[in-house]
Structure 1
Amino acid sequence: MTDQKFDIIVYGASSFVGQIMTRYMHEQFADESISWAIAGRSKSKLETLSKDIGLSDIEILVADASDESALKMMCERGKVVISTVGPYALYGDTLVKVCAESGTHYCDLTGEPQWIRKMQDRYESVAQKTGALIVHCCGFDSIPSDLGVHFLQQHALKKFGQTCSQINMRVAKLKGGASGGTIASIINMVKEAAGDAELRRQLKDPYSLCPPDHSFSARQRDVKMAYDEEYDSWIAPFVMAAINTRVVHRSNAMTGNNYGTDFLYEEAMVTGKDGRGKRMARATAWGMNAFMVGLAIPPVRWLLENHILPKPGEGPSEKEQLEGEYDLRFFGKTSAGDKIKCRVTGDRDPGYGSTAKMLAQAAACLAQDVPEGAVGGFWTPASILGDKLIERLREHAGLTFDLE
């Protein structure tokens, strides 16, 4: 029946993270509380996945990422589409266009700010007219950061009568394998920026994902290497900060500047308070800088892509996923000087095991928990899903959100 409506369609179900998420959804929604289907470009791969997992009754939808008519037919069948098909700057445009035009809700796990900005510019007004809710960054980048700030601000408002004017996030622990998909996205972004001065300017703007009429002007700090007195440790740059900080600032803008127009937010990795911590912070800062410079040089980029870095579809073993974890600490301070702290943790490797669970629960939240009268457009996890998603993540995805 072509008029059947699924709550969720998993597009790219046979991808590395798609397979993990499909298994998770099979366990989570066995009670049929959510109706769902799997989709992708290869029917044979989807059939193999279905057989391996035991999805005997699952419906399979076939659509190539560049086939607009097939994607339209797919979107007509679902309330929410999850996309795991990246790098999104290469393969994601058409699906976002179709979702925006058809009024189908959409979420993904991209961490590509230049692509998100392009999609906003092209389809924001379209999604507002159709009621489509487009929510990027529903994986490790940027749900823990975005909802961690949201959680701390809610408690600051309750405790002090005002939100924090500054929040610093520190990565206390991060254990998990490198994501080939994330690496591919970074490589593509560097390629795009190499020949585009306007894009390079945009990538330096901490408010690049905020609406054009945002009133933010506070000078945000890019963490290099420093000693953090609050945490009593050396700190180094965190690779996900480039996308996470921009999502947090958009959340502020989308909630009526609830965090304030001069809100400051930064992220960094904790390396330790002794000499070893200092050396590690310096090595991390230098290493990240050398990596980005290397990617900008074509011969070096070729060597890294083809012989050193993990490729899309490659990732940690099941054992590594289960043994992975992360621990993020948020330190907030109000303009009056009041201080408040919280902690966000995850029980799987961040790039795959935990990301798959977060993305699935974000889609379930979009399908069942969106507030009545929600206006279509490009939202963030915190600004449209907020407390409802935190509740789901606590109960079903192995995340914790706790005041300290």
Structure 2
Amino acid sequence: MSREFDVIVYGATGFVGELTARYLAEQAPEGTRIALAGRNETKLAAVRRRLGERAAAWPLIVADSDSPASLDAMCARTRVVCTTVGPYMRYGENMVVAAASAGTDYVDLTGEVPFVRFTIDKVDELAKSTGARIVNSCGFDSVPSDLGAYLLYKKAAEAGAGTLGETTLILHSFRGALSGGTIDSMRALAEEAKDPQTRRLLLNPRALSGGPGEPEQAGPSDEPSDIVPVSAKKVDPSLRGTLAPFFMSSYNTRVVRRSDSLLDNAYGPGFRYQETMAVSDIPLLSSLLAGIVTIGTGAGLALMAFGPTRKVLDKVLPKPGQGPSEKTRETGHFTTRTYTRTSDGRRFRSQMRADGDPGYKATAVMLGESALGLALDRDQLPERFGALTPAAAMGDVLIERLKRAGFVIEAHELT
């Protein structure tokens, strides 16, 4: 495509938007054509000044989520639009339609099932017709989850070990903070969940697996639960204790199942997927902690959905655009490990590990490399268009980019 820019960072004046722009300023190859976009040109100019010499000549584009015409004009100028403007249910619909209409590839950070369902229903066919890759969830939600399962599928196939069966991600270690944007998305979801139709969508474990207008119908019993503790030994015989539910499981699991669907169910007929957190390998202590996490997660969502308690929480929780200090971002880290047993009975494990606060520094790397992969590695990408996942859209390309960026990403057979 002949476009003026390779990547436009939309929402560059926000906390994660500026972090992503900074990552691109430091790490994008020389000659990569990048612009910054947002509602306020003065604020955009201030961000550009903070980014240093490499970004000094980056153009500034004024565009507003409430102005479809400005979004259409912006998307027509770039190969890829990288948007951090959420909650996406409030601010993302015009943006994703504009990208699909212009044949522009798109990456975001959404963790909102209803928004991804909107994307599938409203722009999947349009994006296929224009040759656009619309890739949701290119940060901590849900790159480690999606690539973890994808790696196992590839490794098992290479080893001739059959297809994937019971598969479980464990958030093995984590140090970081929830962003104001993530909390605002949780507020929006709590509000949306008051609608019975949205509630049914949120409770459907395969809500994102079907095509436009056709979400696969499944009940909670058709897939592993997102909200109960799990015996570690059931995941793999080498593990001990009890695992707690991972607080983003109810979103990430649906993204991983969508990848399987987009890959023509290549993970196998016995593929069942869940996500958990390691809290301790001491049996009694881990059971207690897993129970506390389970109760606390449910209580937190309930309190956020209830008007009076939500007002109290709003006063103490981070606001949109806020984030942790540079020291906190630098000292964060995460490790995810995903286990499976294949149809041949063999056991495999994949791992992803990175330094930096998962929701901020590491997410800026994942989002930035996703945008660069779509913009600069087009000849290596699968011929797949429409509403996609990171694994389905970029797969091996994104894995190699993240490895070069310092992530540890690996998979091997267990004995």
Pairwise same-fold verdict (TM > 0.5): yes
Rounded to whole Å, the distance in 1 between the matches of 2:254 and 2:229 is 21
Rounded to whole Å, the distance in 1 between the matches of 2:29 and 2:386 is 31
How far did 1:273 drift? 2.7
| CA deviations over 1:181-205 (Å, ceiling 9, x no partner) | 11110110110111x1111111011
Rounded to whole Å, the distance in 2 between the matches of 1:30 and 1:248 is 30
How far did 1:376 drift? 2.6
The aligned residue for residue 272 of structure 1 is: 280
Rounded to whole Å, the distance in 1 between the matches of 2:299 and 2:96 is 34
* Amino acid of the structure 2 residue aligned with 1:183: I
Q: Structure 2: 5+ residue runs without aligned partners?
A: none
The aligned residue for residue 13 of structure 2 is: 14
The aligned residue for residue 316 of structure 2 is: 308
Rounded to whole Å, the distance in 1 between the matches of 2:132 and 2:350 is 33
1:220 aligns with 2:223: yes
The aligned residue for residue 251 of structure 1 is: 259
Rounded to whole Å, the distance in 2 between the matches of 1:18 and 1:233 is 39
| CA deviations over 1:257-290 (Å, ceiling 9, x no partner) | 1012331000001111323322211111111011
Secondary structure at the residue paired with 1:351? coil
> 2:292 is matched with which residue: 265, 283, 292?
283
The aligned residue for residue 261 of structure 1 is: 269
Rounded to whole Å, the distance in 1 between the matches of 2:124 and 2:411 is 34
1:165 aligns with 2:160: no
How far did 1:37 drift? 0.8
What TM-score, normalized by structure 1, do the two folds share?
0.95
1:299 aligns with 2:297: no
Secondary structure at the residue paired with 1:95? helix
Rounded to whole Å, the distance in 2 between the matches of 1:255 and 1:88 is 26
Secondary structure at the residue paired with 2:56? coil
The aligned residue for residue 39 of structure 1 is: 37
* Structure 2 contact 243–279 (Cα < 8 Å) conserved: yes
Bigger shift: residues 314-323 or 352-361: 314-323
1:23 aligns with 2:22: yes
Alignment of 1:108-257 (within 5 A): 108-194=108-194, 196-212=195-211, 219-222=222-225, 223-229=227-233, 230=236, 231-257=239-265
1:84 aligns with 2:87: no
The aligned residue for residue 49 of structure 2 is: 51
* Structure 1 contact 154–163 (Cα < 8 Å) conserved: no
How far did 1:372 drift? 6.6
* Structure 1 contact 347–399 (Cα < 8 Å) conserved: no
* Structure 2 contact 385–393 (Cα < 8 Å) conserved: no
What TM-score, normalized by structure 2, do the two folds share?
0.92
Rounded to whole Å, the distance in 2 between the matches of 1:171 and 1:106 is 27
* Structure 1 contact 125–377 (Cα < 8 Å) conserved: yes
Alignment of 1:94-105 (within 5 A): 94-105=94-105
Secondary structure at the residue paired with 1:272? coil
| 1:4/1:103 CA distance change after superposition, 3 Å | closer
- RMSD over aligned Cα, in angstroms? 1.7
| CA deviations over 1:192-230 (Å, ceiling 9, x no partner) | 111x11111110111111124687868211141233112
* Structure 1 contact 369–385 (Cα < 8 Å) conserved: no
Alignment of 1:317-332 (within 5 A): 317-332=325-340
Secondary structure at the residue paired with 1:388? helix
* Structure 1 contact 345–401 (Cα < 8 Å) conserved: no
The aligned residue for residue 390 of structure 1 is: 399
Rounded to whole Å, the distance in 1 between the matches of 2:408 and 2:140 is 11
| CA deviations over 1:322-368 (Å, ceiling 9, x no partner) | 11001111111012211111211111111010000100100111112
Identity, % of aligned pairs? 37
How far did 1:301 drift? 1.3
How far did 1:303 drift? 1.3
